[in-house]
Amino acid sequence: MGEPLSIAASIAGLSSLASELTKACFACYRAYKKARNAPDTIDKVIRQLSLFRRLLVDLEDIYIIKSGPLSSLDSIEREVKECQSEIKMFQQSLNSSLGDGHGMKLRVKFLLKEEEIQAFLCSLQVYQSAFESAKANDGLRIAMSTQQTVATIGIAVQSIQQEASAEKDKLLSDEALKWLTPWTLCGDKKSFITIAVTRALEPGS
């Protein structure tokens, strides 16, 4: 099983790849727009990548603060690697589809890539669903673990406070007995007052 910090680093790498692909999509979109036949598909990829990158940032934040095992680690590690490969391959295909800058050639070459772009969009949505599920499940586990830790600390603090209170009560009780015992033993008020005054004058009283 992968470690959360290692997977967080992999997610950061995937986010960087998605950012590079977004730049390539913008370049492609500008080229098609310049040719006055900009297809909606490229715009959809750009918008989908924007959502995808925000999700990756949230997911990275979850794993970067956790050092223990989480239920989604194995599947996320595998899916991150697969997604990285798909993004790299798609970016290569996208770069090759730019052609020589002439509108007609761009259009013809893009039509040959339309199906591939649609397939990539579907794959991206599948990965996004998997990462959203991991974010929800592991995020909840971390929140519950944090809540349990806080509760444990609260119980420990309460126990310490109770022990301190009990010790204080015991000291007060011992002090009260210290003053009441002469009265009990002497049996008369005058003797008790004499002993009480004597004790009050003792060093440390």
pLDDT digits 0-9 by tens, 172-200: 665 555 555 554 545 555 555 555 555 55
Residue 44: C-alpha distances to residues 51, 76, 106, 120, 147 (Å): 11, 25, 18, 11, 40
Question: pLDDT tens-digit profile of 114-145?
Answer: 788 888 899 999 999 888 888 887 765 655 44
Task: Judge whether residue 38 has pLDDT over 80.
Answer: no
Question: pLDDT tens-digit profile of 69-97?
Answer: 565 666 788 888 899 999 888 888 777 76
* Residue 5 confidence (pLDDT): 73
Which structural domain, as residue segments, surrounds residue 81?
4-155
* Residue 149 confidence (pLDDT): 45
Instruction: Map residue 36 onto helix, strand or coil.
Output: coil
Q: What is the DSSP letter of 202?
A: S
Give the side-chain half-sphere CA count within 13 A for 113.
24
Residue 199: inside a domain:
no
Task: State if pTM tops 0.85.
Answer: no
Residue 160: inside a domain:
no
Cα–Cα nearest to 192, from 179, 174, 173, 201: 179
Residue 171: inside a domain:
no
Distance of alpha carbon 29 from alpha carbon 42, whole angstroms: 6
Residue 178: inside a domain:
no
> Structurally, how many domains does the chain consist of?
1
Instruction: List the beta strands (DSSP E) in the chain.
Output: none
